Copies of this chain bind each other. A is one copy, B any other.
Amino acid sequence: MERGFSRQRAMDVKTVCLGMLSGGEASGYDLKKEFESSFSHFFAAGYGSIYPALAALADNGLVTCEQIAQEGKPDRKVYRITNAGYESLLEALDRASPSHKIRSEFLAMLCFAHLMTPERIDEVIDQRLDDIRRNEALLDDVQANSVDDSWTSGMKFVLGFGRAVTEAARRYIEQNRHTLVTNREQTDRKAATG
């Protein structure tokens, strides 16, 4: 390590891991849990991206890795941010125009609701609402478990954002789903297929 340490310029998995480590040491496994809880509503990452990301950060001297032997378990690798890593993080945070992208197969599908049966529309919407409600419960849970914790204003803001937007999405779906299932729609598909 400690060679070149190319600085991060995008908020990719690597940089987010670096940011998480700025709050304290953690293993790849720990970071995954954070991606699954407080970050889950806006940034997904699996082991397949986290472990390579940590290895790359270590290669660039942005983090150090301490291997801790455990009984009956594989070695736990604890990562800590370095000064170079901290500088790199600040630089990334200074970079311009972070993206905010939505890719929704759900909405794409509903654009063609007139080609779906009412039963199928209901099924797709019910599944989405289940996901949303699970997500709301998770956000509430994260919020509840962080009352005592030393949470940053940033994390609180982001959590609140997720809550607000998720709720708006749920309410819109609940209040407007009926517009998708009408008698007129049913005939469209029948006429096309029959």
Listed in ascending order, the chain A residues whose CB lies under 8 Å from chain B are: 10-11, 15-16, 19, 22, 39, 41-44, 86, 89-90, 93-94, 96-116, 120, 124, 127-128, 131, 152-158, 160-162, 164-165, 167-169, 171-173, 176-177, 179-180, 182, 185, 189, 192-193
Chain B residue nearest in CB terms to A168: B168
Partner of A115, one of B90, B107, B113, B169: B90
A173 vs B164: C-alpha distance when bound (angstroms): 10
Majority secondary structure, A binding face: helix
Chain B residue nearest in CB terms to A41: B102
**B residues near A98, Cβ cutoff 8 Å:** 104-106, 108-109, 124, 128
With A93-B120, A106-B100, A180-B153 known as contacts, the answer to whether A19 contacts B161 (CB < 8 A) is no
Partner of A158, one of B44, B111, B124, B152: B111
A193 vs B98: C-alpha distance when bound (angstroms): 23
- Determine if B110 and A157 form an interchain contact, defined as CB atoms under 8 angstroms apart: yes
A192 vs B182: C-alpha distance when bound (angstroms): 60
- Determine if A108 and B44 form an interchain contact, defined as CB atoms under 8 angstroms apart: no
